[in-house]
């Protein structure tokens, strides 16, 4: 072939997208790249450059890139399972869901962290940013800060021939709401109206969802009114009405929810459904407006259908949690009037509420009704009945429920045993209580403090000290902490009025057996201080100093109060100094007693110092300030 002539194949080759690159022009640069880029993640401190995007960078068509061997595996969107020589780019899970151009824009924002000329230069490399790409960037994760999202939105709107779509407006509202600027997100309908786009129901639904998720009922109702009155946009579906009503009811704005319900009733094209009535009925139950609830149920029967068992159970559950048993019984009567068969959940909720209120006759009646219908009775129903009978003073009936429970194939838990043991001890039937305690041990239960304390208190009050120590030996033989049970015993015994002297006698016998601890001393001293037995408290403290036990900060705080009440604040100040030497912080009552004692002595400067120390060490220190001001008002200041 003579030189200067070309082959027929090269002569017929046309440079367009199938054979190669199209002929570039000023408005159509050449973009080298595929579906995914091969950029590498660089530190955020490094400056952004177009060299980081080898396959998605904009270049002038003057020079083609050097010919390199490119493998198809580099362009595979899914990384290969086997290792290859060229490692695929490391992309985060959020970046993998974005398109290449969206990742390019997000990376430009991420590297610059603010709107600046560098970001604009990177955006200008793209030929055009369509509205779908704007929406994709604004909805990316993590959410762009408002300083970037709003600037990018307005920059995209200034493109020649560009018009934002509904998706981009919704994405901007999403970005602003995610950033906490919900007031700015509410201005999106005004922005659309200014751009010549009439807001639609979709914008209302999106903004309603944002406010509902963030529990902003007043803002939601304001948005709803604004869209209706200013833009003429009303919900065209009952679902959206229900969404608004449910959000208002959950946030406690029942009156606003009823106003929206009235708008729904006034709408000719829509009709309230069962979800609407159920949502409003829950709100009326929470507000305790039973008469309005009954009227609403009548309207529901006429307009839609009668409430089902799930709706009635939800209403009963709300009323039981609020303790409104009268309303609960009225709702139960309405359910029976409608001929709705109660299920196990409805019975369980009702029986638990009745037992908690002490209406045992009605609860037992419902329990027998369940057994007659052949329902599978849950374990919690037996427990509620036992506790209800015991709290009402009918322990034998509670024990009968326990035996019936065992016959039905259930195994009682420790809570039921604790309830029955406490009930029998309160009735003076300690032998039955001890037998139940032994049964619980044989069944493998670990006795709790609530299990043993009623027995110990009953033996101590009945002067049955032999059984008292026998029970202690039994607990110790099982390997359980005896001192914890004794501490709980004294706390329960001293909770009753006039048991301080009895507690001291029992403690004296316990010391003879070797059962003694600093915590028990603290409980006794505190109880004696409450009943103004200051001499006994000080004597107990002197006895404590003769033992091997070391007083702790609680002991010193209690004895400071005792000494001030006994009229010896100087000695109390010495123990306060001892606490400071050991880096202990006195209690608020100790500070209170010292301030009162010093004010009575006329030592105002020392009292002020204590008040400052109290304010610097305890969280509720102003209590000492109040005591100081009350005492200093009625005393003249003494010159020091």
Is 35's pLDDT higher than 60?
A: no
pLDDT of residue 224: 94
- pLDDT tens, residue by residue, 172-205: 998 898 888 888 999 999 999 898 888 989 889 9
Q: How many CB atoms lie within 10 A of CB 272?
A: 21
Is 33's pLDDT higher than 70?
A: no
For residues 536-550, average pLDDT: 88
Q: Which residue has the tokens 């100790």?
A: 590
Lowest mean pLDDT of 76-80, 514-518, 574-578, 581-585, name the range.
76-80
Name the burial class of residue 166, with classes exposed (0-12), middle (13-18) and buried (19+) by CB atoms within 10 angstroms of its CB: middle
- pLDDT: which is higher, 497 or 584: 584
SS3 30: strand
Q: What secondary structure letter does DSSP report for 25? A: B
- pLDDT tens, residue by residue, 588-638: 888 888 998 888 888 888 888 888 888 887 765 444 444 444 444 433 333
Q: How many CB atoms lie within 10 A of CB 434?
A: 20
Q: Which of 289, 376, 372, 362 is nearest to 324 (CA)?
A: 289
Contact, 134 vs 171, CB < 8 A?
yes
Q: Which of 616, 527, 626, 534 is nearest to 571 (CA)?
A: 534
Q: φ and ψ at 445, to 5 degrees?
A: -80, 145
pLDDT of residue 414: 92
SS3 53: coil
pLDDT of residue 319: 93
Rounded CA gap, 350 and 57, in Å? 70
Lowest mean pLDDT of 57-66, 394-403, 475-484, 558-567, name the range.
57-66
Is 168's pLDDT higher than 60?
A: yes
Q: Which of 555, 564, 575 is nearest to 603 (CA)?
A: 564
Lowest mean pLDDT of 29-33, 372-376, 429-433, name the range.
29-33
pLDDT of residue 27: 60
Is 55's pLDDT higher than 80?
A: no
Name, in order, each residue with C-beta under 8 angstroms of 167's C-beta and a sequence gap of 6 or more: 131, 132, 135
Is 300's pLDDT higher than 50?
A: yes
- pLDDT: which is higher, 554 or 142: 554
Contact, 99 vs 132, CB < 8 A?
no
Rounded CA gap, 210 and 216, in Å? 9
Q: Where are the domains of the chain?
A: 95-199, 413-502
Is 456's pLDDT higher than 50?
A: yes
- pLDDT tens, residue by residue, 277-294: 999 999 999 999 999 999
Name, in order, each residue with C-beta under 8 angstroms of 524's C-beta and a sequence gap of 6 or more: 490, 494, 500, 503, 504, 507, 537, 540
Is 639's pLDDT higher than 50?
A: no
**Which pLDDT band holds residue 217 (cuts at 50, 70, 90)?**
very high
Task: Indicate the helix (H) or strand (E) that contains 278.
Answer: helix 274-287
pLDDT of residue 419: 94
pLDDT of residue 58: 35
- pLDDT tens, residue by residue, 74-128: 444 444 444 443 333 444 555 567 888 988 998 899 888 889 999 999 999 888 8
- pLDDT tens, residue by residue, 229-281: 999 999 999 999 999 999 999 999 999 999 999 999 998 889 999 999 999 99
pLDDT of residue 30: 53
**Which pLDDT band holds residue 479 (cuts at 50, 70, 90)?**
confident
Chain centre to alpha carbon of residue 433: 40
End-to-end Cα separation, the chain, in angstroms: 124
pTM of the model: 0.68
pLDDT of residue 619: 63
């Amino acid at each position: 072939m003579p030189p200067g002539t070309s082959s027929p194949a090269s002569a017929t080759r046309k440079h367009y997208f199938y054979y190669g690159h199209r002929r570039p022009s000023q408005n159509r640069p050449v973009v080298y790249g595929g579906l995914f880029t091969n950029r590498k993640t660089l530190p955020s401190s490094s400056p952004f450059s177009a060299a980081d995007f080898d396959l998605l960078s904009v270049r002038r068509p003057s020079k083609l890139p050097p010919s390199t061997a490119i493998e198809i595996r580099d362009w595979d969107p899914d990384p290969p399972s086997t290792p290859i020589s060229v490692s695929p780019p490391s992309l985060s899970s959020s970046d993998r869901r974005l398109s290449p151009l969206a990742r390019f824009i997000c990376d430009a924002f991420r590297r610059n962290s603010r709107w600046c000329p560098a970001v604009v230069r990177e955006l200008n490399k793209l030929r055009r940013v369509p509205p779908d790409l704007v929406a994709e960037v604004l909805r990316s994760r993590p959410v762009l800060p408002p300083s970037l999202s709003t600037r990018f939105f307005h920059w995209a709107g200034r493109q020649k021939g560009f018009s934002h779509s509904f998706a981009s407006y919704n994405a901007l509202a999403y970005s602003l709401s995610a950033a906490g600027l919900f007031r700015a997100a509410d201005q999106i309908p005004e922005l659309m109206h200014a751009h010549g786009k009439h807001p639609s129901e979709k914008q209302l639904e999106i903004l309603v969802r944002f406010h509902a998720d963030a529990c902003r009922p007043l803002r939601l109702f304001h948005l709803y009114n604004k869209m209706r009155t200013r833009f003429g946009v009303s919900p065209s579906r009952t679902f959206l009405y229900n969404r608004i009503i449910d959000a208002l009811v959950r946030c406690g704005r029942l009156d606003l929810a009823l106003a929206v319900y009235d708008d729904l009733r006034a709408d000719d094209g829509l009709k309230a459904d069962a979800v609407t009535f159920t949502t409003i009925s829950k709100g009326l139950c929470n507000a305790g407006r039973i008469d309005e609830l009954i009227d609403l149920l009548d309207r529901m029967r006429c307009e839609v259908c009668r409430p089902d068992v799930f709706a009635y159970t939800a209403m009963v559950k709300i009323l039981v949690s609020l303790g409104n048993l009268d309303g609960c019984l009225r709702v139960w009567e309405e359910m029976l009037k409608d001929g709705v068969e109660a299920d196990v959940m409805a019975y369980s909720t009702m029986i638990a509420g009745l037992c908690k209120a002490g209406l045992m006759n009605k609860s037992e009646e419902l329990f027998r009704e369940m057994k007659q219908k052949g329902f599978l009775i849950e374990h919690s129903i037996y427990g509620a009945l036992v506790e209800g009978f015991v709290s009402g003073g009918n322990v034998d009936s509670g024990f009968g429920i326990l035996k019936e429970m065992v016959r039905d194939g259930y195994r009682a838990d420790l809570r039921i045993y604790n309830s029955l043991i406490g009930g029998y001890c309160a009735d003076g039937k300690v032998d039955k209580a001890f037998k139940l305690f032994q049964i619980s041990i044989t069944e493998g239960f670990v006795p709790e403090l609530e299990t043993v304390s009623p027995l110990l208190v009953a033996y101590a009050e009945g002067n049955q000290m032999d059984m008292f120590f026998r029970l202690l030996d039994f607990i110790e033989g099982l390997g359980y902490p005896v001192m914890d049970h004794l501490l709980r015993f004294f706390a329960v015994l001293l909770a009753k009025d006039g048991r301080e002297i009895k507690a001291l006698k029992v403690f004296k016998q316990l010391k003879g057996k070797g059962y003694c601890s600093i915590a028990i001393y603290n409980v006794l001293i505190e109880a004696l201080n409450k009943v103004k037995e200051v001499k006994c408290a000080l004597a107990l403290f002197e006895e404590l100093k003769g033992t091997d036990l070391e007083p702790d900060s609680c002991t010193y705080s209690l004895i400071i109060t005792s000494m001030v009440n006994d009229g010896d604040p100087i000695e109390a100040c010495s123990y306060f100094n001892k606490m400071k030497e050991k880096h202990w912080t006195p209690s608020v009552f100790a500070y209170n007693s010292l301030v009162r004692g010093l004010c009575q002595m006329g030592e105002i400067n020392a009292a002020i110092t204590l008040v400052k120390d109290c304010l610097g060490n305890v969280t509720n220190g102003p209590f000492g300030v109040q005591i100081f001001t009350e005492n200093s008002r009625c005393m003249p200041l003494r010159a020091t």
